[in-house]
Structure 1
Amino acid sequence: MSLAVVGAVHENKDRSNRLFEIRLCVPGEPVDLAPEPKNPFDPSAIAVWSTRGVQIGYLSAERCGWIGSRMAQGEEICAIFQEATKGGAIIRISFSSSDPILPPARPRKPQARSLDEESGFYPDYIPPDD
C-alpha cells in the first residue's frame, strides 16, 4: 500500500529541513513509523523518519487512525521510501512483517529541447580574455 507523507514543508524541532532529507532518500530505503500520542495537534499522528534519523513528515490524517490502531494491536508494519513528490513523499508499507515491494517506476516525460536547439541559433565563439 502506498501512503502520502505530509508536512514536509515544515522544519523539524532541531531545524533540519524535511524536504532536503526527502531528496536524500532512495526508493526502497527503509523508513520508520513512530506514533506520537502526545502530539498537540493530533494524538493519532504517526511521524515518518528516514534511515538517517531525520523526520520527513507525517502520514496523512486520514490514514493515521487506521495504521495507528494496527500498530497498537502489535501488528508489525514495514515501510520503505517510494518517491519524492513536490511537497512531500510517498512511502510503501506492508503488514505482517512482509517486505513492501516498490511498484514499477513510472516512465519519465521526455525533456523539452532548449530554445537554442529548436531555433538553430548558436552564438559565436568568444575567446577567453588573457
Structure 2
Amino acid sequence: MAAPTRKRLFDIVGESKNAADGTPRQHLLARVDPADAVTLQRQPENPYDPNAVAVLWEGRDIGFLPREDAATIAPALDEGRPYAAHVHELRGGVKGYTSYGVKIAIAWDGKPLPPAKPLDEQQERSRRGKLAAMGRERDATGAFAGDSPKGGCMGVLIAVLLVGTAGVYSFV
C-alpha cells in the first residue's frame, strides 16, 4: 500500500502556544532532542480543523501538523495505518531566534525514518542556559530570586579606591 504522501519531513505549527495542560510548548521543546520519538494524535473534535493532528512528545502536545498536511495524513491515521515518527530537527533556540521550531519525520508501514539532524554547538550552549534558568523564580526586577547583588570588578575597584582614599585623608 502506498504511503498517504511522498513527503517525509513536516514542519509543525503552534510551538509558541501553550500545551493542553497549560505548559508553554517552548519549555517542553527545550527538553526535546532530535531523534526523540513522537506520536500523532487525531483530534477530529478540534474546533479549528476537523482533520487536526497533534504531535505528542512524552504524551504532551508540542504542536500540530499544518492544516494541509493534516488533511492528507488524518485519513491514514483514522484507518490505523502503522507509522513511526520522530523529531527530525529543532531550529532556533539561540540569540536572535529564541523560539524553537520543529520538523518531524514520519515513515509509514515499517519503512525507516530518515536520520535526525543533531543540535549545533550554539544550540547546545543556549539550551544549557535555558534549562538552568527554567524553574528558577525571578523577583520584581527580573533578577533571579535568591541571587546576591553582583558588584563585579567595578564594585571591588570602587571599594578599594574608597578605602585607599579614606586612609590617605586620615594621615593628612
**TM-score of the superposition, structure 1-length normalised?**
0.74
Residue number in structure 2 paired with 1:69: 75
Query: Which structure: larger Rg?
Result: 2
Mean alpha-carbon deviation: is it higher for 85-94 or for 61-70? 85-94
Shift of 1:126: 7.0
Distance 1:25 1:106, change over 3 A: closer
- AA in 2 matched with 1:8: E
Deviation at 1:32, TM superposition (A): 0.8
Whichever structure has more helix as a proportion of its residues is 2
For residues 95-110 of structure 1, what are the structure 2 equivalents within 5 Å? 95-102=108-115
The structure 1 segments of at least 4 consecutive aligned residues displaced by more than 2 Å after TM superposition are 85-88, 103-109, 125-130
TM-score normalised by L of structure 2: 0.58
Letter in 2 for 1:96: D
RMSD: 2.6
The CA distance in 1 between the partners of 2:37 and 2:101, in whole Å, is 16
Per mean C-alpha deviation after superposition, the further-off stretch among 55-64 and 4-13 is: 4-13
Paired amino acid for 2:81: E
Worse overlay, 30-39 or 94-103: 94-103
In structure 2, the gaps of 5 or more residues are: 1-7, 93-99, 123-152, 161-172
Are the structure 2 counterparts of residues 82 and 13 from structure 1 closer, same or farther at C-alpha, using a change threshold of 3 Å? Answer: same
- Per-residue deviation, 1:20: 1.6
Cα distance change, pair 31–15 in 1 and its aligned pair in 2 (3 A): same
Higher relative contact order (CA 8 A, sep 6+): 1
Q: Distance in 1 between matches of 2:64 and 2:52?
A: 7
2:97 matched residue in structure 1: none
1:27 matched to 2:34? The reply is yes
1:36 maps to 43
Segment of structure 1 superposing worse, 3-12 or 99-108: 99-108
Counterpart-to-counterpart distance in 1, 2:29 and 2:117: 20
- For the residues of structure 2 that align with 1:60 and 1:3, how far apart are their CA atoms? 8
After TM superposition, give the deviation of residue 76 of structure 1 in Å. 0.9
Counterpart secondary structure, 2:70: helix
Give a deviation string over 1:13-53, Cα, whole Å, max 9, x none. Answer: 321011121121111110010000000110100000112x2
Q: How many residues align?
A: 114
Q: Is 2:91 the partner of 1:50?
A: no
The residue aligned with 2:12 is 5
- Report the 3-state secondary structure (helix = DSSP H, G, I; strand = E; otherwise coil) of the residue aligned with 1:6: coil
Mind listing any 5+ residue stretches in structure 1 that lack a counterpart?
110-124
> CA separation of 1:41/1:90 partners in 2, compared to 1, >3 Å: closer, same or farther?
same
Shifted more, 6-15 versus 55-64: the winner is 6-15
